[in-house]
Structure 1
């Protein structure tokens, strides 16, 4: 379902009035429409099938290179994402790192960031976002194991309350064989060894 821009703009005008501002003054005159445009982008994943980017798969045994079957995990690091916390409607952003153990099917690596983008483009909490990414990959690819690590900075932490500007949040979601402690530790060690990939992209 597409974002109702006209309704969002009308509600933003009410919000500006509620905080004591004048939505008709020059600096705010276009703000409702700008917010509506931004929200249509931020929440473009609402109602969208996150598994759709994984629909086109390649058989590892009957595909173009059956003599190069993957024997270990496929790992994609440093996927940038941004989302909006559903508790305060403030942004959070960071990087996702995804590993999966292929079953019979693999997918083009470009599909994995699309899954993250669809699921992040909704009102979210980081913990659920990682679990949803893991579930989508595990179910769509019949993967033997999935690991999703998210690291993000949250404006509800950095910009309000105690204002912990240097803090970041890390969450881990694991499925199948990668939920086993030893296997999970091996992949996490690989990610930590490439520490620059954990940069959340906020300039720090």
Structure 2
């Protein structure tokens, strides 16, 4: 049996863990899809494609093997009493739509009001990557990021905004190019205080 076969925890608690097929089974599935498109998986240019696709999937969906706790567990308390908004904006990300398995690409903006220390700024970018490198919807991705911040940092409030273009709209279907989808969610002080929301939008540059 392939050494990589192990229990796989999926996006949310509503889905049950599954078991990964072997690498050989995954490559065979790619060969089947190549044949289904009408091409010949045995021609020279496609002989190594199944192995390359499986390797690429390991990178594109690496988020299933990562946990936000390990990224956010270390915080810094010596911040000179700073307790105002910490904002990291324009975090680039790419994910894959769980409905068509084609990319959606955009930027994330994350803010929080510290309660007991701050986290390294790069950790917020890594947090986005953990959830983005899974099969996703933009709405779910937004919720997962802010829920992880609340669970592992315990801030007084948090705000997350994602702005992305979905290839399932531009490459297929309605072929609507350049359409941007924006989702956001507020918790804590940001959810309770409209002025804090306005400050977030102003700092992100959306107002």
TM-score, normalised relative to structure 2? 0.85
CA shift, 1:6, in A, is 2.8
**In structure 2, what is the equivalent of residue 84 of structure 1?**
96
Matching residue within 182, 185, 203 for 2:198: 185
The C-alpha deviation readout for 1:146-176, integer Å capped at 9, x for no partner, is: 0011111111011011111110111101111
Matching residue within 145, 157, 160 for 2:157: 145
Q: Is 1:52 paired with 2:70?
A: yes
Structure 1, unpaired ranges of 5+: 196-204
| Greater RCO (Cα-Cα under 8 Å, separation 6 or more) | 1
User: Secondary structure of the residue that 1:104 maps to in structure 2?
Assistant: coil
Q: Aligned partners of 1:184, 1:97: CA distance in 2, in Å?
A: 13
In the alignment, is the contact (CA less than 8 A) between 1:45 and 1:120 conserved in 2? yes
Q: Aligned partners of 1:6, 1:121: CA distance in 2, in Å?
A: 22
Q: Aligned partners of 1:12, 1:88: CA distance in 2, in Å?
A: 16
**In structure 2, what is the equivalent of residue 21 of structure 1?**
39
User: Secondary structure of the residue that 2:121 maps to in structure 1?
Assistant: coil
Q: Aligned partners of 1:99, 1:139: CA distance in 2, in Å?
A: 15
CA shift, 1:71, in A, is 3.3
87-96 or 15-24: bigger deviation? 15-24
**In structure 1, what is the equivalent of residue 184 of structure 2?**
172
Q: Aligned partners of 1:120, 1:7: CA distance in 2, in Å?
A: 25
CA shift, 1:72, in A, is 1.3
Q: How many residues align?
A: 188
In the alignment, is the contact (CA less than 8 A) between 2:83 and 2:115 conserved in 1? no
CA shift, 1:49, in A, is 1.1
In the alignment, is the contact (CA less than 8 A) between 1:83 and 1:122 conserved in 2? yes
**In structure 1, what is the equivalent of residue 16 of structure 2?**
none
User: Secondary structure of the residue that 1:151 maps to in structure 2?
Assistant: strand
Structure 2, unpaired ranges of 5+: 1-5, 9-19
Q: Aligned partners of 1:50, 1:85: CA distance in 2, in Å?
A: 21
TM-score, normalised relative to structure 1? 0.86
Q: Is 1:159 paired with 2:207?
A: no
Cα RMSD over matched residues? 1.7
CA shift, 1:51, in A, is 2.3
